Structure 1
Amino acid sequence: MSSQEPQPTSLYPELDEATLTQVVEALETGNTGRLAPARVTEVQETRAQVEFSKVRVPGAGGDELDGALWLHRDGRPRPLIVMPSPWVNLGWVVYAVQATRFALKGYHVLAYTARGFGESQGEVEVAGLEDIEDGQAAITFVEGLVTGELTGVGFIGDSYGSGISQLVAAEEPKVGAVVALSTWGDLGEAFFENGTRHLAAVSTLLGAAADARLSETTQQAFRDVLTNPDPQPALDWAVPRSPHERVGKLNERGVPILFANAWHETLFPTNQTLKMFNALTGPKRLLLSIGDHSGPESPGIIGLPNRIWEDAHRWFDHHLKGIANGIDAEGEVVTQIMWKGPIEERPTWGAVTGRTERLYLTGPQNGGDGTLTDKAGGDTDIVFRSGADTPATVANKIIFSGYPEMAGFPKVYPTNEIDRSHAGVWATAPLPVAVKLRGVPRLRVTYTIEGPTPTVIAHLFDVDADGNAHIITHAPFTGPEGEAERLVVLDIALQATGYNVPAGHRVLLVLDTFDPFYGAAPVAGTTITVSPSDEDPSYLDLPVS
């Protein structure tokens, strides 16, 4: 990704809108001529069992929401699934295939387009109070139409709809289970990570909502993230929009919540979702997969086999229907390790990491890069200057880079091309055995700066003998402004990772001062000096399975 590269105009760059639109048309008319055989069967069975109709849902403040309803008219007691739309003008149509599948399993289903998008009225409030009231109104709307008892209510959403689903569940006692895909827990942390503005995330959201109607409150909040020197107004705005702020209400009722996120999520970084997951005390499950925002679950959106959507169905079947399908006895955490890699299951998040291995940042032993070693000390500084981009970046492009990674072609980083005058680099010796990294790495570095305070981005790589690398994880850090010459302590959690470093490879840590994901322009001209120390050593804690 370069600073000149335009941001995506969709959070779903590979979404097959034509297929979804054709499914909706077939549900309405019965004409299945343009559908794949599997979709033909689903549509025909649905039309025989369910009344499908496009609807207008009375939402908060009298605003009508565009939606679709899959309603059983046999008078039998049934649960309801409500599906608030993602951050797309296509709206509820994104859920056409999966909503049909829920209906075929005996659920009433209401999918609706979030306010301000597509044909829904109102303005985009980014999971504000109006969005919560919309979710509650959606339940009331269906209650007025069903001919039998509603035996439970589940909310499921992808991306934007996932945050709304959690917030509605916190405020509405009728909600008995939630599935949140590619979600957030703490919106403030997602937009301001370690004091660093996540400009690419907000720019992408704005680009994807170019045809939506953003409220003045929303526009101001986004402007604050992008340009306001004081982050507090945007952080205050994010508080009521963060499910983590309402976790107590969810815990009081023990609402079962299934999360699914990507390891290399570039829109809503994984750690803030982990924060939410770990705070829950009721039934919970976390699926972590290779890819980026909404990528791992995207095949299921158009009906292809997908373990994430399969788990979503099992989650509701168990918690809303009481079906003994075993999901309650399985591990809380299910992770895909690397591209096309194995699936691992652990009973809790705490069980993902077996032990922590500490590596100290020391000076070069024979010139060149610094070293990552099990002993602190040394007497040679690593010195670099701020102001230039290097090949060490989060990804080529927000969201898009996850698709080749899912296909088994992750980005290759030429680490030999990193300009050491603009980056600090430390490496282990070639590993004698493979190392399985599982969990949240932590980095503590004490350094001095001479000049204005720069942002520092830590990148962790797996490097082969030729210097070609794949990224393991990363995190940014921006310290507070202060005197031009001063000591800074960087003490941060890197984003959670599940990664196998092969024997013979090295683990490489790169600190540089610019990544387009985190800033519009770098701070130039500051000298950064990392000095080895026995008294206050800098170190990297690696979570090892």
Structure 2
Amino acid sequence: MVRRLVVMSVTALAVVLGAVSPGLAAGPRHIRGTETVPVYDYASAVRETVWVESPLDGDGARDRIAADIVRPREATTRVPVIMEASPYYTCCGRGNESELKKYAADGTVVSMPLYYDNYFVPRGYAFVGVDLSGTARSTGCEDVGGPAEVASAKAVIDWLNGRGTAFTADGRRATASWTTGRVGMIGKSWDGSVANGVAATGVRGLETIVPIGAISSWYDYQRYNGILRTQEYVRFLHSYVNGRPADACADELAGWRAGSGETTGDFTGYWAARDYRPDARNVRASVFIAHGINDKNVSTRQFGLWWDALARHGVERKLWLFQSGHEDPFDARRAEWVDTLHRWFDHYLHGLRNGIDREPRATLETAPGVWQDERDWPARGVRDRTLPLGDGTLGLGAAGRGVTKTYTDESLREDALVANPSAAVPGRLAFLSAPLTAPLRISGEPSVTLRIKVDRPTAALSARLVDYGTATRVDHFRSEGLVNLTTSSCWGAASATDDACYLDTAEVTVTGDHAVLTRGWADAAHHRSLRFSTPLLPDRWYDLTIPLNTYDVTLPAGHVLGLILGQSDPQFTVTNDQNATVSVDAGRSSLTLPATGATVIAPATPPTITTGPGAAERRSATDIPIVPLR
């Protein structure tokens, strides 16, 4: 048999691969070597809106999801898409300066929030801003992280890959012949949470996601192991972003509220439908996570457990951790972030071999303004250490056998809870290590295992790890650790209606003699399962584990590690389970610490520590519970 050698031109081969539309000239001029460069005119870019049909039926007709598109007019090849699906485009704004979408009189989008379109469209990308179901101009009902929300964003990816239906404002069918179908989703907070949810569907065409300060389980965002973060949070978040008439989604909202276990704190089917972690096995996209290590809005367990799940399934991933709270790395380390993001998208959306996939997997801010790259995360050499509790002591050698510590709830705020740990304070128990003889690196998710007896059917329990020692730290209780300056810098091209200039920012630091590292809460009656509660009997001992938020820190030699136990926590949670008396069997209780470095030794007697004002006290912080995601 004679085999014919078929020689294809670069243009013909690109057509087969979907990079060039038939009839278009070959050679993407926005690619030079291993990077994309800004060659297309942003001011004259194509700006259009399509309404994509979502497969979920909200009210007898398929929902239509508004997608605003900005793409290079002069491009002679198909281009990939950077997409941000958000509920905030017209209600609340995006970014540090709360930018909104803006439209001309004819409905054409003339200004997009953030810099993504300004920076990337000239470099041969399209940017698509999607109004999630039930928000802004989309129909349907916003179900707060649920199937309709995720399906609305996924539908746009399907349409970009020729698998869906969309229409223009005048009813004509719209096609996406201008794109390769390769999509990267990005977004902070709620927007990044949607990216996690869409990736968990395994949708083809989604090549990468960049979730920033994002949720991976909505239960863990609105509930803390059986304890409510605040009352009526489901209704609050829905109402906060709802773009429909007030009564359009009333029936749906009533069902969600009923299913969320408001009175029990249980993990119900409502929450299972909003937990993306079990579906990490479906993720095809690479994942680039960024998170503030002191984020008190979207807790760090959200990235920590998601990262672990992705690792178990071999998903390509990268991580940035920085010292501030619920912030975007664009405002924490601007130039380096934009450069890294550019190379990430170039590699995963344009297929450029720039080596970013072979670079260290983790980038961490280890102290204010101090950054380092590490091969992986958690830190190399970290292992779980079991640190026993004693009579006010913590660490190896703690003499806890036969020691019972008892305390009665006083609903203490955080500063009162952790200050002056050597003193006897009603409403808390304090356990202190000896001063560290060498640096101690904590990297991962700690947890506290307690053997307890309670005089009531349940109790709300809290636990905090505290660093007792003087240091200069990012003051994340003040503006999340970052403040705006009077200067600005520009990150991309501009049009008459949309620039890419943003106020510069600076970290806020404070020098203090102690700081809370990580926190955790649990309802004692959920000790068997989060799916149901089991009332406690007053004469029986129970075992309970309180997971703490994921953290990464290095404590210097000479500092003391403290574990502080409290009960009801008005600064962070809402509960009617107050005034309980709890006994802790110290000999059968312990702290599990993912760590490397110094051995944590228990002192013979607790060290004497006197502290000054805490961070929240200095800033007169208001209560935390009810907050928007953005």
Equivalent residue, structure 1, for 2:156:
138
Instruction: Give 2:292's aligned residue.
Output: 262
Count of matched residue pairs: 466
Shift of 1:318: 0.5
- The aligned runs of 1:356-435 (5 Å cut-off) are 356-363=384-391, 370-378=392-400, 379-392=402-415, 414-415=419-420, 420-435=425-440
Contact kept, 8 Å, 1:57 with 1:141, in 2: the verdict is: no
Is the counterpart of residue 82 in structure 1 residue 83 in structure 2? yes
**What residue identity is the alignment partner of 2:47?**
F
Letter in 2 for 1:346: E
Question: Which AA in structure 2 matches 1:119?
Answer: R
- Structure 1 unpaired stretches of 5+: 1-41, 364-369, 395-412
Q: Give the Cα–Cα distance (whole angstroms) in 1 for the partners of residues 186 and 255 of structure 2.
A: 29
* C-alpha distance in structure 1 between counterparts of 2:301 and 2:144, whole Å: 20
Contact 1:124–1:215 (CA under 8 A) maintained in structure 2: no
What SS does the corresponding residue of 1:372 show, helix, strand or coil? Answer: coil
CA 1:328–1:207 in 2, change beyond 3 Å: closer, same or farther? same
Structure 2 vs 1, CA of residues 104 and 463 (structure 1 numbering), >3 Å: closer, same or farther?
A: same
Partner of residue 156 from structure 1, selected from 183, 186, 189: 186
CA drift at 1:356: 4.1
Closer, same or farther in 2 for the Cα pair 1:456/1:237, shift >3 Å? same
CA distance in 1, matches of 2:235, 2:318: 28
Paired AA for residue 377 in structure 2? W
Equivalent residue for 2:593? Answer: 541
Structure 2, gaps ≥5 residues long: 1-37, 55-60, 94-99, 102-111, 163-173, 472-511, 526-534, 598-630
Give the structure 2 partner of residue 7 of structure 1.
none
Write the letter of the residue equivalent to 2:448.
Answer: L
SS in 1 for 2:546: strand
Q: Deviations over 1:94-128 (max 9, x none)?
A: 64422221212211121122222233333212233
In structure 2, what is the equivalent of residue 245 of structure 1? 278
* CA displacement at 1:130 relative to structure 2: 2.8
Cα deviation 1:193-215 (Å, max 9, x = unaligned) = 33333328937953971664466
- Alpha-carbon offset, residue 501 of structure 1: 1.9
Taking the TM superposition and a 5 Å limit, the aligned residue runs for 1:87-236 are 87=88, 89-90=91-92, 93=101, 95-139=113-157, 144-150=174-180, 152-169=182-199, 170-199=201-230, 202=233, 206=237, 209=240, 212-213=243-244, 216-218=251-253, 220-222=255-257, 225=260, 227-229=262-264, 231-232=266-267, 235-236=268-269
2:321 to 272, 284, 288: 288
Once residues 417 and 201 of structure 1 are traced to their aligned partners in structure 2, the CA distance between those partners, rounded to angstroms, is: 38
* 1:305 corresponds to: 334
Once the two structures are TM-superposed, the CA of residue 362 in structure 1 deviates from its matched residue by: 0.6
- Name the structure 2 match of 1:458: 463
- Distance in structure 2 (CA, Å) of the matches to 1:122 and 1:324: 41
- Percent sequence identity is 19
Task: Give the drift of 1:322.
Answer: 1.4
Measured in 2, the distance between the counterparts of 1:289 and 1:433 equals: 24
Deviation at 1:463, TM superposition (A): 1.4
2:422 and 2:259 map into 1 onto residues whose CA distance is 36
> Cα 1:115–1:151, aligned 2, differ >3 Å: closer, same or farther?
closer
Structure 2 CA distance, aligned partners of 1:56 and 1:393?
54
- Which residue of 497, 507, 510 maps to 2:564? 510
In the alignment, which of 353, 356, 366 is matched to residue 324 of structure 1? Answer: 353
Residue type matched to 2:225 in 1?
A: N
- 2:22 maps to none
- Give 1:540 deviation, angstroms: 4.3
Taking only aligned residues, the RMSD between alpha carbons, in angstroms, comes to: 3.4
Checking the alignment, whether the CA contact within 8 Å between 1:127 and 1:164 is kept in structure 2 is yes
Asked if 1 retains the 8 angstrom alpha-carbon contact of 2:185 and 2:195, the reply is yes
| CA apart distance, 1:148 | 4.1
User: Which of 563, 571, 574 is matched with 1:520 structurally?
Assistant: 574
CA 221–419 in structure 1, closer or farther in 2 if over 3 Å, else same: farther
Q: Structure 1 stretch 195-204 or stretch 416-425: which is displaced more?
A: 195-204
1:265/1:344 CA distance change after superposition, 3 Å: same
| Partners of 1:356 and 1:133 in 2: CA distance | 39
Q: Could you tell me which of 25, 28, 46 is aligned with 2:42?
A: 46
TM-score by length of 1: 0.76
1:277 partnered with 2:307: yes
In 2, the alpha carbon distance for the partners of 1:440 and 1:201 equals: 29
Contact kept? 1:386, 1:526, Cα under 8 Å: yes
Who is 1:436 aligned against? Answer: 441
Name the counterpart of 1:25: none
The structure richer in helix per residue is: 1
Alpha-carbon spacing, 1:65–1:198, altered in 2? closer, same or farther (3 Å): same
